[in-house]
Structure 1
């Protein structure tokens, strides 16, 4: 056994892939599970579950305990106001960092943030991700920490991008960004491998790293559509969605959310994120530090995500 990792977000799309990868690498994974979350994604694994919430200091104490490493992957991605994101994306980071820094010796701390943190003025979500990073840095030299900022992460089990990708596979592609907009992407297994390589590197340098799939200059919406066209073997109809129409849809969705009582994904803030022209990043610095390089290219990753071919089991890819 390599050691103990305290993990949050293990019941989610990204966190469950990271948890499974860590178990396969020989780590003892102790994960926080918050009601009413389900552990079904990790059924049959050796993950040890700690029942609790980020507001319950006792459960956080049990989670961090004697851990060698803390990996905070949990986060809120749906909401309207900054308050909707603050608890999971800011307060939880601050509490976990404080607990970790009070240990002797203190565990290493890895925060899975988001590339959105690079542009905090775009949306409440982006602002909360940046504030979470700042909360971590406030522990100063009492803790060794690293922040990873992945771009759009996709893969089997993803609930955010998959509806759009399936629509493209059926032959219709909404185009919401400008013709010059470009963005990076990352397959979920590659993100999990980036975490493993960080652990192996024993890096003690406090800094922020941006990650992507290694495609120079990122992608345009056209390139994504063209990739899906190759996968389906025929063309896809592109439907450009004007900014005012997208804004109206976001306003109506936000209104419905406030009446019915759910946290929406499509908001005015999300529209500003979608229409931002530059979500491109570069792996070169992280490669030098952690000796990590992504292995899944876009077409291969979309094939797995859309169920057109089976994804290799985590840990078996060369």
Structure 2
């Protein structure tokens, strides 16, 4: 029976990964803080371990005698870039270092982000061999985290997965979209542009992660191949314009949704309000200048041709089916 450790197991992606790994019958440890809310986890099926990604304290014991480590923990919003670095860069370094110090280092699968690679369009989707061009502090921190972990690639079998927008059961960010649509039956899109985006359902992402752990390509310490060995993009069966995303999401809930263009200046004003509110309460808001820089890019499309051809990855359902499943979960939980 494979043994694994999951960081970020109490969050949206991590808790879904823990459920998926449990269904596979793997022996599982979940890295938590003393203050973590573990209600999303089946505590009978997991072993909880306490350690710090920021300082590295306790990580060697946490990764001892495991076959796979899934590094899902990360910061998506911050008041200052240094906050991103403390979690997304230092955390990746400390975890990879702890793995490298094991007699038999485990395979490390690191969840990064399309933001680390940069924007992509229908015509030029982001691919693994492209020059990385992040446009946000968040994206730059995820790329730096990849590089920090890759310094241990000679000793640690390492793979990196870069998902786009992730949605599914437990997703609070997606819930905000539905609450807006449910209130006004409108979906705001950035300007009059198509603004194409890729998405991935959390269950498909979890399946991809365990497949990569078992059969995936590994990062090479010195990779000059131009194909970014060990790195994978993953996505749903199609990308779509942001306006269509709103219509598909609304239709899953039984709502007719009108996509309205919102001027870029309005996004900057909303970002400024988010920044002020975040600094006032000393906790970053989901809507801030960093996210506005991402929202006003040309688009966020990636090609998952590599993982499809190399590992046989296929989304298990269409976007329409996945949004219907997500809405049903929201309603079952009383979130919507």
Relative to the length of structure 1, the TM-score reads 0.90
Seen in structure 2, the aligned counterparts of structure 1 residues 11 and 306 have a Cα distance that, compared at 3 Å, is same
Mapping of 1:1-318 within 5 angstroms? 2-119=1-118, 121-170=134-183, 171-176=185-190, 178-201=192-215, 203-204=217-218, 206=220, 207-215=230-238, 218-233=239-254, 235-307=256-328
Residue range with higher mean Cα deviation, 151-160 or 42-51: 42-51
How large is the Cα RMSD of the aligned pairs? Answer: 2.1
The alpha-carbon deviation at position 278 of structure 1 amounts to: 2.6
SS in 1 for 2:172: coil
The alpha-carbon deviation at position 161 of structure 1 amounts to: 1.9
SS in 1 for 2:53: coil
Kept after mapping to 2: 8 A contact 1:304/1:310: no
SS in 2 for 1:160: helix
Deviations 1:139-193, CA, capped at 9 Å, x for gaps: 1412211100000000111011211133224412111255231110011111111
SS in 1 for 2:328: coil
Kept after mapping to 1: 8 A contact 2:51/2:62: no
Structure 2 unaligned residues grouped into runs of 5+: 119-132, 221-229
Alpha-carbon separation, structure 1, partners of 2:324 and 2:187: 17
The alpha-carbon deviation at position 43 of structure 1 amounts to: 2.8
Residue range with higher mean Cα deviation, 71-80 or 159-168: 159-168
Residue range with higher mean Cα deviation, 297-306 or 35-44: 35-44
Seen in structure 2, the aligned counterparts of structure 1 residues 180 and 202 have a Cα distance that, compared at 3 Å, is closer
Structure 1 unaligned residues grouped into runs of 5+: 312-318
Seen in structure 2, the aligned counterparts of structure 1 residues 229 and 248 have a Cα distance that, compared at 3 Å, is closer
Alpha-carbon separation, structure 2, partners of 1:74 and 1:143: 19
Kept after mapping to 2: 8 A contact 1:145/1:205: yes
Alpha-carbon separation, structure 1, partners of 2:198 and 2:44: 32
Alpha-carbon separation, structure 2, partners of 1:250 and 1:145: 36
Alpha-carbon separation, structure 1, partners of 2:219 and 2:151: 15
The alpha-carbon deviation at position 230 of structure 1 amounts to: 3.3
Kept after mapping to 2: 8 A contact 1:303/1:309: no
Alpha-carbon separation, structure 2, partners of 1:35 and 1:310: 31
The alpha-carbon deviation at position 44 of structure 1 amounts to: 4.8
Residue range with higher mean Cα deviation, 17-26 or 162-171: 162-171
Alpha-carbon separation, structure 2, partners of 1:18 and 1:30: 12
Across the two proteins, how many residue pairs are aligned to each other?
308
Kept after mapping to 2: 8 A contact 1:6/1:71: yes
Kept after mapping to 1: 8 A contact 2:60/2:99: no
Alpha-carbon separation, structure 2, partners of 1:102 and 1:272: 39
Seen in structure 2, the aligned counterparts of structure 1 residues 178 and 145 have a Cα distance that, compared at 3 Å, is farther
Alpha-carbon separation, structure 2, partners of 1:296 and 1:73: 23
Residue 316 of structure 1 aligns with which residue?
A: none
The alpha-carbon deviation at position 229 of structure 1 amounts to: 4.8
Alpha-carbon separation, structure 1, partners of 2:270 and 2:281: 16
Residue 226 of structure 2 aligns with which residue?
A: none
Kept after mapping to 2: 8 A contact 1:20/1:45: no
